[in-house]
Amino acid sequence: MDSHTGSETMIVQRIANGTVIDHIPSGKALAVLKLLGDPHVKGFRVALVMNVSSKKMGKKDIVKVEGVELSDEQVQRLALVAPQATLNFVRSYQVVAKRNVSPPSVVVGLLKCVNPTCITVKQREPVYSTFLLSSQAPLTYVCRYCGRELGEYEISSQVQ
Ligand code: CTP
Ligand code: ZN
């Protein structure tokens, strides 16, 4: 059990229903929150847990959202911001399913090529960008049209 879940060290209570996004690399909780949309606009309750100890990761962040199931698009964006994250679906206080996210092998239309002479950027009628996964760790995608690489930092900042 991760140390924040132990009764003595727990800093945020368990949720009744919703999604716990666990094993977020430390420092990325705010980026994950952004891709869920503004809780004040959408009206859901959310708890951010940052910088807690994890056996697997050293330090990690956690985002708990009540009453929300992530859309497929949000899961895809999560996989690009925090590929190590795990999704825990909670019903009546129990974790009823766990899911790893994994960066898709092809990402269409979501990422932008940073090569100013790339056809996907230059065209007046923009061609949908297509990126192919070239490395899981560190996460790297390659533009299908010009071969330019996007690294972890570029990917996270574009997805938010
Ligand atoms: N959790 C929660 N509310 C619940 C149930 C679980 O907020 N009603 C949170 C836990 O605090 C934990 C995560 O959901 O951060 C996963 O819960 P659980 O599977 O019980 O923990 P672990 O066994 O530590 O998970 P893992 O093996 O994936 O690290
Ligand atoms: Zn390109």
Residue 113 assigned to a binding site: yes
Strand partners, 133: 141
Domain ranges of the chain: 18-100, 106-158
Distance from Cα 114 to the centre of ligand 2, integer Å: 7
Please give the pLDDT value at position 3.
44
Dihedrals φ, ψ of 147, to 5°? 85, 0
Please give the pLDDT value at position 95.
97
CATH number, domain 18-100: 3.30.70.140
Tell the CATH topology of 106-158: SH3 type barrels. (2.30.30)
In this prediction, the residues of the chain whose per-residue pLDDT falls under 70 are 1-9
Please give the pLDDT value at position 48.
96
Distance from Cα 40 to the centre of ligand 1, integer Å: 25
Q: Which residues' Cβ are closer than 6 Å to ligand 1?
A: 1-2, 5, 14-15, 20, 22, 62, 64, 86, 88, 90, 93, 95
Dihedrals φ, ψ of 19, to 5°? -130, 130
Distance from Cα 117 to the centre of ligand 2, integer Å: 8
pLDDT in tens, 73-93: 899 999 999 999 999 999 999
pTM for the full predicted model:
0.88
Ligand of minimum distance to the alpha carbon of 130: 2
30-61 burial, b at 16+ Cβ within 10 Å, e below that, comes to: ebbbebbeeeeeeebebeebbebebeeeeebb
Residue-wise DSSP of 34-83: HHH--HHHHT--EEEEEEEEETTTEEEEEEEEET----HHHHHHHHHH-T
